[in-house]
């Protein structure tokens, strides 16, 4: 059985607006035919010896704002095929999650050394998630791209022949420390009881990553408006009950004040 490879993108257009360009465009991709126009759209691609490409089958699923392409085939042409499919959509139809802007803020040396990792990062981002900053460093002695998003931290090591990703949720980070040496900055995290160290960060990046993690962690821990409001209402009702019991408020006054406190 051929291995499966999954590629994801977040849509900025409606599922209906995404579906028709795919149906119209798939037959224009060389050697492709639509076997089933449903959801998922099933696509068969013939083997092409001259292009050094095995036969392929793709299932294209539109799941709300997510476009998921699953490709079954041998060889290493799956990412290229997925990009051909994504390229059928109109300009601006795919959310870049702030990735282009974050890349523009990277130093030139960071972009050069993380070219392979950056290429596959978009596949890891999900609906409602935006990239706050990008940096390059080393995790377990492998060059990695570190992406701090509005939801998590992603450490992605994508070499020429294999790849690995590590996800860190800010709420699971119990301690953060940073330091510097000649080869760059480092940051140490305690994540769910385990130690994680990121080395060889460009100077200034360690502090930036640490600050983003603290802010994200604090935002998760902060009480919501509804929680605060509920707590305030309980306090108000307790005080009103005490005043009523003491005879300061009449029955009618207590009933009216209680209704106001509850927003009735």
Q: What CATH number should be reported for the domain holding residue 137?
A: 2.30.29.30
Q: Is residue 93 part of a domain?
A: no
Same-domain status, 108 and 200:
yes
Task: In whole angstroms, give the CA distance from residue 122 to residue 145.
Answer: 12
Q: What is the CATH number of the domain that holds 68?
A: 3.30.310
Domain membership flag for residue 258? no
Domain boundary among 31, 60, 87: 87
Low-confidence ranges of the chain (pLDDT < 70): 1-2, 158-163, 221-235, 242-244, 246-249, 253, 259, 262-264
Would residue 227 count as lying in a domain?
no
Q: In which domain, by residue range, is 40 found? A: 4-87
**Which residue, chain included where needed, has tokens 């599922």?**
15
Residue 185 and residue 79 share a domain:
no
Number of domains in the chain: 2
Asked if residue 232 is part of any domain, the answer here is no
CA distance 125 to 111: 19
Predicted pLDDT of residue 255: 76
92 in Cβ contact with 101 (< 8 Å): no
Please report the pLDDT score of residue 209 as a whole number.
96
Q: What is the pLDDT of residue 234?
A: 64
Strand ranges for the chain from DSSP E: 4-10, 32-36, 41-45, 56-63, 66-72, 131-139, 142-149, 153-158, 163-168, 173-181, 184-191, 194-201
Q: Is the peptide bond before 168 cis (omega within 30 degrees of 0)?
A: no
- 131-139 and 66-72 beta bridge pairing: unpaired
Residue 257 within any structural domain of the chain? no
Does some domain include residue 110? yes
Given a contact cutoff of 8 angstroms between Cβ atoms, the answer to whether 70 and 57 are in contact is no
pLDDT of residue 91: 96
Relative orientation angle of helices 225-245 and 251-261, to the nearest 10 degrees: 170
């Amino acid at each position: 059985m051929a291995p499966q490879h999954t590629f994801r993108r977040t849509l900025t257009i409606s599922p209906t607006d995404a579906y028709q360009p795919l149906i119209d465009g798939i037959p224009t991709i060389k050697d492709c035919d639509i076997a089933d126009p449903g959801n998922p759209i099933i696509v068969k691609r013939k083997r092409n010896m001259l292009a050094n490409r095995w036969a392929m089958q793709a299932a294209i699923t539109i799941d709300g704002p997510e476009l998921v392409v699953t490709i079954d085939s041998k060889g290493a042409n799956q990412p290229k095929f997925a990009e051909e499919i994504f390229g059928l959509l109109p300009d601006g139809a795919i959310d870049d999650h702030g990735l282009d802007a974050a890349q523009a803020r990277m130093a030139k040396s960071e972009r050069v050394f993380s070219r392979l990792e950056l290429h596959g990062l978009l596949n890891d981002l999900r609906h409602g998630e935006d990239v706050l900053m990008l940096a390059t460093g080393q995790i377990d002695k492998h060059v990695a791209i570190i992406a701090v998003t509005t939801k998590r931290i992603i450490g992605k090591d994508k070499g020429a022949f294999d790849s690995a990703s590590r996800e860190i949720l800010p709420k699971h980070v119990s301690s953060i420390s940073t330091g510097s040496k000649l080869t760059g900055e480092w940051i140490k995290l305690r994540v769910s009881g385990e130690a994680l160290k990121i080395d060889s960060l460009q100077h200034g990046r360690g502090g930036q990553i640490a600050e983003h993690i603290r802010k994200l962690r604090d935002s998760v821990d902060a009480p919501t408006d509804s929680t605060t409001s509920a707590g305030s209402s309980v306090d108000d009702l307790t005080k009103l009950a005490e005043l009523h019991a003491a005879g300061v408020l009449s029955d009618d006054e207590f009933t009216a004040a209680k209704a106001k406190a509850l927003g009735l």
